[in-house]
Structure 1
């Protein structure tokens, strides 16, 4: 029983999965979005490969807690995922996760070029880890 976390962006989708116990999140891949919807095929492959039983999609909210156009796009993607994969899909507030991921990479002295390659995957890891932490606190 693993959970998958997704950071849905304009060009890329960061992907992370939990360990079998649902304690920790690990970034596994960045999937490039395609015009033909091929990203859903790749996500379905990863779901099968990692035996994922539920998915968490980051929901970008505005700082005043409202949902803007980016949030609506993420909600539509989550709905599409749920219908395609027939798995529970949860939306999780992702405010400032990309900023946090960027800061962490800067503090680790990762070059700008390398940061671009891993930022989405790291944001997905943070989204998933926050979700997992919220479940263990209950």
Structure 2
């Protein structure tokens, strides 16, 4: 599962158990840190998630942004509460890529609030999956 954590919304995407496909799951409209974390814990259990990837919003230079510091604290809180590993992943340009995907799909820019964060979470999860080592020929799948 991947999260695009924003100040107002959290986009959530998930993959199938083998990691072949990534789908947008939902958008959580933020209320409080505690409620957001409880909602995510429920999703982790419901979808039998084994790892959570949290987009880390670094500056283009790679330096930590003020929002990245807050997202890192959020990820640490989730790590303490969730029974699965929680990893940060560089999300630079994920929102730009999400807008491009929605442009190509013909989605109206004025109607994107509800899905843009989910699509950004898809981009984050696809990027993370692509960076994972692939088993070699004759190797058992992991």
Using structure 2 for the length normalisation, give the TM-score. 0.89
Is structure 2 residue 52 aligned with structure 1 residue 55?
yes
Match of 2:73 among 71, 76, 79: 76
Once residues 47 and 114 of structure 1 are traced to their aligned partners in structure 2, the CA distance between those partners, rounded to angstroms, is 28
Structure with a larger share of its residues in strand: 1
**Structure possessing the higher radius of gyration over alpha carbons:** 2
Matched pairs, number: 135
Give the corresponding residue for 2:29. Answer: 32
Deviates most, 76-85 or 29-38: 29-38
1: CA distance between counterparts of 2:33 and 2:59? Answer: 30
In 2, are the aligned partners of 1:18 and 1:25 still within 8 Å (CA)? yes
Point out where structure 2 has 5 or more consecutive residues left out of the alignment: 136-142
- Which secondary structure does the structure 1 equivalent of 2:51 belong to? strand
For residues 84 and 118 of structure 2, the distance between their equivalents in structure 1, rounded to whole angstroms, comes to: 21
Deviation string, structure 1 residues 14-69 (Cα, Å, up to 9, x no partner): 00111110222111000011136311111111101110011000001111111110
Q: Distance in 2 between matches of 1:29 and 1:13?
A: 8
Gaps of 5+ in 1: none
What stretches of structure 1 move > 4 A for 4+ residues in a row? none
Q: RMSD of the alignment, in Å?
A: 1.4
TM-score (norm 1): 0.92
